[in-house]
Amino acid sequence: MKVINYPDGRKMILDEKKDKKIDHRKTENKTEAQRIKESYIKANMGMDFEKDVSKSCDYYRLQGIADIYKRPTPIKIVKMNKQKPGQICEAYFEEKSTTDYVGIYKEKYIDFECKETIHDEIPYHMIREQQYRHLEFILKLGGIGFFLVSFKRAQEVYLMPAKIILEAEKEKYHRGFKREFFQEHGILVERSYLPPYKLLDAIDKAFDL
């Protein structure tokens, strides 16, 4: 309890609990509706983004400009449906996935990972260790590797060369990659009707192709 003494002798007792600011970012301080909405957003995070990226790649393929496609996730089939041939009853992921997309453009091997966030930063842990190491290996072989990052609230998508991310990841002087970091070092990917993302334009700018 906090007491305020006025010059005329009056006193006012303040309830510090009421005055204390509530951090609505914490799960325990959110309403049930807010928690349900946030859970839905997280569950579907990146799905629409990747659909538009895939549509862009399909467009470039049909135009005969580049052949870039989403890498299938390797699975091991354990059990098949005997009554319905071709139907899988039980399976599991056989190995850790690397990056989302792979292909070729202007005689260059292309390899990149997509990430989307509702916040203004990408934490280090959001990029898996095998993804760092995979892109590091791609660069050593002379390929083009990068991250395509969507900041959902800002409605901005950036292409960030893997080399820059890998250098920052080794330093780890902060907890992650902020949106300002992408604004300073990355390439803003333009949106359009067709293709949804001008991905190849951004690749040309980032790697001087």
What is the rounded average pLDDT of the residues 118-135?
A: 88
pLDDT band for position 8 (cuts 50, 70, 90): low
Task: Catalogue all structural domains in the chain, each as residue range(s) with its CATH number.
Answer: 42-207 (3.40.1350.10)
What is the rounded average pLDDT of the residues 63-81?
A: 77
Contacts of 159 (CB under 8 A, 6+ apart): 146, 147, 148, 186, 187, 189, 199, 202, 203, 206
Say yes or no to pLDDT of 44 above 90: no
State the chain's mean pLDDT as an integer.
80
**Would you say how long the chain is, in residues?**
209
Say yes or no to pLDDT of 105 above 50: yes
What is the rounded average pLDDT of the residues 111-134?
A: 90
Do the Cβ atoms of 148 and 161 come closer than 8 Å? no
